Structure formats: structure tokens, C-alpha cells
A and B are shown apart, each in its own frame.
Chain A
């Protein structure tokens, strides 16, 4: 009896947090009438924002995975102290508030920024769709790098030594041994990264601006709609949640397939 009771207590404690997390999402779906949702779908801001969000988050995911995987591999192989220091620095974008990240990007790439003159001698990188992708990469890459480097570290280091004794080149070891074995961890990191990029708001607003069709992603569209029509904001929010959920499912399916046929 005592044993069961203790089990229930543990479940109940965890469940209370789960309920807290689920309840607002549930309220989002339930607190509006169905015709309100349909009206929201017809809001002029929705489709341009949805297209832009999908395009920019896919682009930023591609950048993060293509460049972040070799980075994570280097970090996993580096000596402890240097590697850990660099990794800690790379996690800074996670703790910086997004709007501060936006200001930092303006100061780096903006018209008066450190690299601004090099990148855009006559203007600025801000206010472009590329700026949206840059902001998303900045805030979401650390999530991927963390996940990927720990996936690489979990690998048995002897596998690498053995591969080296066969004369395998670093490319061969990376592509044929490390990548296939770390794939589940990489996919999990990609899912996290993608969802963070999808929800990115503060840095985008600060650095890329808010212009329909060019820089107004779904979160920005939601905030714009919220200024006067909370119902519309709610409807667009539901769309964002559904898109995010679909993306997460997609990644999970991919991960399961990867585990079955490595």
C-alpha cells in the first residue's frame, strides 16, 4: 500500500507540471469558436506569414545542420578545456534575451555595424529576408550544437581509433562512422532548433523588422494582429501551433526510420 502511494505521489507531482504546460495550449484551441478560427484563417496576414515562416525556418535549419554538424564534431574531438570553453561561449545566444540578440546583430551587421560596411557598403543587412534567417540561425543554432556534440561524445572513442588503424581518412570516419551513429541525437537537435526558429520573435523584430511578405513571420503576424483583434491573433496562433506540431512529428518519423535502417 505504501509503495503504491509513493508511486502515485511521484506521478502526481510530475503530472501537475505537465498539466500546467498543456493547459494554455488547450485554452488556445478551445477558447475560440470554430467560426472565429475560420475567420482567422482568412486574415490577410496569415498566408504570407506562413509561407515566409516555412521558407525562412527551412533555410535556417539547413544552415544550422550543414555548418553545425562539423562544428559539433570538432567540439567533440577537441581537448577538454578548449572544447568546453568554446562550447560555453557558443551557448551564450541561448541566455541572451532575444531582443538583445537583435540589437547585437544590428551592431554587428547593421549599417553602422562592425561588419556592416563589408557586407553592405551602401546599406544594411537589416530589413531583409536574409536578416530573418540570420536571426533564426543565431538563436537556434546553439540548441543543435549542444545536442549534436553530446551525441558525438557518446560514441565509443575506440571506434574512431580502430577506423584510423584501417587507414580511414577523417572524411570517411566523419561520414561513414560518426554521422550514422550520432543521427538520432542530430535529429533531436534539429527538431529543437527548428521549433525555436519557428517561434523566434524578438531578434527578428529588432534586426529584420516587420514587413508583410518580406520579414513578417508567423510570430510577428500574431503580434501585429494582437494589437487590435485578439481573436485573429488566437486563430493565427493555432496555425503556428499546428505547423510546429506537424514539423515535430515529421522529425520524429524521420528519427524512427533512421534508427531502423542506419
Chain B
């Protein structure tokens, strides 16, 4: 049952000078996607969203097939029901917090105004940002922005959630508390989620499994323990040993 509600992808694409070839399957878990800069992590997220063209693709989310090049199926981004929180959150700068969340809800449903308002209030409450409702997004702190972005993405009950470096925009001290909050949110989700990070401590904490992406390909995908015991590439070795992690100093 849980496996059926997962995410399965088989993607082959050429984006700029990078050739991306990824085939993986996951359940309703949190998968961490880690790798060096330029490996294609953000690109993979965009490919999953359908925002970039693929040469060949077969993507299934839950029970829905959203892409299948064999049958010329390419569901547009608007209909894939995937929540997306980019690096630096992409909040609409000209709208307040409430309007940001309302934008998401109004875009999808054509429900009555009063119903949407109720949903907006509920979403704000759930993420503890009701007090910020009328503030403009540019004055929020990093942690507050992340809550708004998550609230916005999750208010539509997506079938999958993609987070791109959710904590890298935060200063080291905010990171810890925000990481706890994020972990709680992810644990309460019942849909597959992919978190991109280059920070080993985050990877270890947030994901059940970690997929290492290098030069457009997944070189290893396993639990943290398995990766530590059996690193298959130089990057993985450095990654698990924590030598490219800056946050250790704060611990």
C-alpha cells in the first residue's frame, strides 16, 4: 500500500551541457538528494515538475502517470499536483503572507471566496504564521519565509513535495530550530518528498534515504548508515565523513 503511493521516475534529459539520467523509485518517505554543485539536483527537480523538456521520461506519482514519452504523455506543470519550494522560497514579493497562501488556493479551486478564506486561515494557523498574515514577505526572517513557503505549497495537498536547499539561505543559528520544524512537517506528510541539500548533517537528519547525485547520475542511494559503511565514490566518502559540512561548528 505504501509503495503504491510513492514516486517512480525514469528520466533522461539534456540540459545545457549536463546529461541527466536518473531512474529511481521511492515510497511515501523523505528522500534526500545530495551532491556537489552542478550535479544537476535542482535540474532534476525541474524535470520532475515538467518545467524542463526531457528526451525520455516516465514519471509516476502515486497512482497517476504524469509523464510517459512512449505514449507521448506530458502532463503540464499546472496539473501535476507537486508542491515546490525553491531555494530562497520564491514568495511573491508584491503580496502579503496571507495573499501568498490565498494565491495558491485560488489558483487551483474555483470555490467560494469565504471557503477559500477559511482554508487560508487554517493553513496560516497550522504553520504558526497567523500573526504575520498581513506583513509583506520581504521583511520576514528566513525561518518565517520558509514557513510561508511550506504553508503555501502544502495548502493544496500535493501528491509530492520538492524542497530545494530549504535551509541554506538561513544563518547558522536559525538553521537548527528551522531544521526541527522542517523535520516535524516532513514526518507528518503522507506523500513522497525530496529534499535537496549539500549539508551532511541535514541529510542525515531529514531523510530516510539519501541519493547521491554526481554529474547528472545517481551514484549511490541508501540509508546514511549504509553509505557510511560502503561509500562508492570519493564524494560520498567526503560527504559522510563530514568534511564538507560547515554546520558542525555550530553543533
| Chain A complexes with chain B | yes
- Spell out A's residues near B (CB within 8 Å): 156, 158-159, 161-169, 172, 176-177, 180-181, 262
Looking at the complex, which one of B80, B92, B93, B94 makes contact with A165 (CB distance below 8 Å)?
A: B80
Complexed CA–CA distance, A161 and B104 (Å): 12
Q: Residue of B at shortest CB range from A155?
A: B93
Q: Which residues of A contact B78 (CB under 8 A)?
A: 164-165, 167-169
Q: Residue of A at shortest CB range from B136?
A: A262
A-B pairs under 8 A by CB, number: 57
CB distance from B39 to the nearest CB of A (A): 19
Q: Which residues of B contact A156 (CB under 8 A)?
A: 90
With an 8 A cutoff between CB atoms, is B46 at the interface? yes
Number of interface residues of B (CB under 8 A): 27
Q: When the two chains form their complex, are residues B107 and A166 in contact, meaning their CB atoms are under 8 A apart?
A: yes
CB distance from B83 to the nearest CB of A (A): 7
With an 8 A cutoff between CB atoms, is B79 at the interface? yes
Secondary structure of the A contact surface, majority rule: helix
- Spell out B's residues near A (CB within 8 Å): 46, 49, 51, 76-84, 86-88, 90, 92-94, 103-104, 107-108, 152-153, 156, 158
Looking at the complex, which one of B88, B93, B94, B156 makes contact with A166 (CB distance below 8 Å)?
A: B156
Scoring B51, B87, B88, B152 by chain A CB atoms within 10 A of each residue's CB, the highest score goes to B51
Q: 4 smallest A-B Cβ distances: which pairs? A: A262-B94, A168-B107, A164-B77, A167-B108
CB distance from B120 to the nearest CB of A (A): 13
Q: Residue of B at shortest CB range from A183?
A: B94
Q: When the two chains form their complex, are residues B153 and A165 in contact, meaning their CB atoms are under 8 A apart?
A: yes
Complexed CA–CA distance, A159 and B80 (Å): 17
Q: When the two chains form their complex, are residues A165 and B103 in contact, meaning their CB atoms are under 8 A apart?
A: no
Q: When the two chains form their complex, are residues B107 and A163 in contact, meaning their CB atoms are under 8 A apart?
A: yes
Complexed CA–CA distance, A177 and B90 (Å): 12
* With contact pairs A165-B77, A168-B107 given, residues A181 and B93 touching in the complex (Cβ less than 8 Å): yes
Complexed CA–CA distance, A181 and B103 (Å): 15
Q: Residue of A at shortest CB range from B52?
A: A161
CB distance from A178 to the nearest CB of B (A): 11
Q: When the two chains form their complex, are residues B79 and A162 in contact, meaning their CB atoms are under 8 A apart?
A: no
CB distance from A24 to the nearest CB of B (A): 41
Q: When the two chains form their complex, are residues A158 and B90 in contact, meaning their CB atoms are under 8 A apart?
A: yes
Complexed CA–CA distance, A169 and B107 (Å): 7
Q: When the two chains form their complex, are residues B103 and A166 in contact, meaning their CB atoms are under 8 A apart?
A: yes
Complexed CA–CA distance, A91 and B199 (Å): 47
Complexed CA–CA distance, A167 and B155 (Å): 13
Q: When the two chains form their complex, are residues B107 and A172 in contact, meaning their CB atoms are under 8 A apart?
A: yes
Q: Which residues of B contact A167 (CB under 8 A)?
A: 78-79, 81, 107-108, 156
Instruction: Given A161-B46, A161-B51, A166-B104, output 20 extra A-B contacts at Cβ < 8 Å.
Output: A159-B92, A161-B86, A161-B90, A162-B86, A163-B107, A164-B77, A165-B77, A165-B78, A165-B83, A165-B153, A166-B107, A166-B108, A166-B152, A166-B156, A167-B78, A167-B79, A167-B107, A169-B107, A177-B92, A180-B94
Q: Which residues of B contact A166 (CB under 8 A)?
A: 103-104, 107-108, 152, 156
Q: When the two chains form their complex, are residues B90 and A159 in contact, meaning their CB atoms are under 8 A apart?
A: yes
Complexed CA–CA distance, A169 and B158 (Å): 17
Looking at the complex, which one of A162, A172, A180 makes contact with B90 (CB distance below 8 Å)?
A: A162
Complexed CA–CA distance, A196 and B222 (Å): 64
CB distance from B64 to the nearest CB of A (A): 14
Q: When the two chains form their complex, are residues A176 and B86 in contact, meaning their CB atoms are under 8 A apart?
A: no
Q: When the two chains form their complex, are residues A161 and B94 in contact, meaning their CB atoms are under 8 A apart?
A: no
Q: When the two chains form their complex, are residues B49 and A161 in contact, meaning their CB atoms are under 8 A apart?
A: yes
Scoring A158, A161, A166, A176 by chain B CB atoms within 10 A of each residue's CB, the highest score goes to A166
